[in-house]
Amino acid sequence: MREPLPFVERTPLIAGNWKMNLDHLQAIAFVQKLSWALKDVKHDFGDVEVAVFPPFTDLRSVQTLLAADKLALTLGAQDVSPQQAGAFTGDVSAAMLAKLEVKYVLVGHSERRHGHGESNEAVGAKARAAQAAGMIPVICVGETAEDLEAHGAAAIPLAQMQAAVTQLPADAEFVVAYEPVWAIGSGQAATPEQAEEVARALREALRDLRGDDRAAATRILYGGSVASQNVAAFMRQPNVDGALVGGASLKVDEFSRIVQFKKHVTA
């Protein structure tokens, strides 16, 4: 039996991944409405961090709005090139994102892994590029239904996380987002117990990869059909530190309710 990890207060992170939705004008309107909704309920952003991940074409508009109106939302990007600069048509470099005050960068989302053939090595290179530019990579891991049946819970997410983390410096900060591929957009989320089982396994693996202090401090998110009706049950789990929200993050009222999960969490 291993010794328990040192206690670290991990600030919950609720992250909205917009995917390929909302143009820059719609993004401005959305962020304004979301900020007003959270201001109305006196949301404490120090208590629960809130990040939005718009498409590349929206980032400058959202960044300008956040800076001009001094809004407390955090900005994230959905992807990054592993290359620093050069003849890479269609790519966006980490340095470009950092100039836009992007704090978080998704790497290895299942839609990139499966739709664009991104390997574990490529995901690790993207994580390294984001970290080197001063941003925090959000390393996405998850298994398909076939993976789950063939390898059991956690095996594929653990391998994906390890491949990415080993490409980062020893002191690097990162977030891990567990998204079972079979749950994304299906309306059928994993159970809170399933999410906790994988999150606990990921944290235990981080002890071996990065030591107890980093394992205790690293935030592990759950994603996959997260909604206001189920988020509190996930957030009750000791190793789940937030949510990566897809479709529900495109609805101001629903996303605002998800952010306010603490009002629904009971011991």
CA angle 178–214–233, rounded 5-degree value: 40
- Going from the C-alpha of 74 to that of each of 2, 142, 144, the distances in angstroms are 36, 24, 30
Q: How many CA atoms lie within 13 A of 35 on its CB side?
A: 17
Angstrom distance (rounded) from CA 239 to CA 51 = 20
Are 246 and 205 contacting, i.e. CB atoms less than 8 angstroms apart? no
Structure tokens at 227: 């909604």
The one catalytic residue among 118, 143, 179, 196:
179
Are 252 and 219 in contact by the 8 Å Cβ rule? The answer is no
Tokens of 125: 């290179």
Active-site option among 43, 49, 109, 118: 109
Asked if 109 is an active-site residue, the reply is yes
Q: Which residues in the chain belong to E strands, given as ranges?
A: 13-17, 49-53, 74-77, 104-107, 136-141, 175-178, 220-223, 242-245
Q: Is 24 a catalytic residue?
A: no
- Whether residue 137 contacts residue 126, with contact meaning beta carbons closer than 8 Å, is answered with yes
Nearest 10 degrees: CA dihedral of 189, 192, 195, 200?
180
For the annotated catalytic residues, the residue numbers are 109, 179
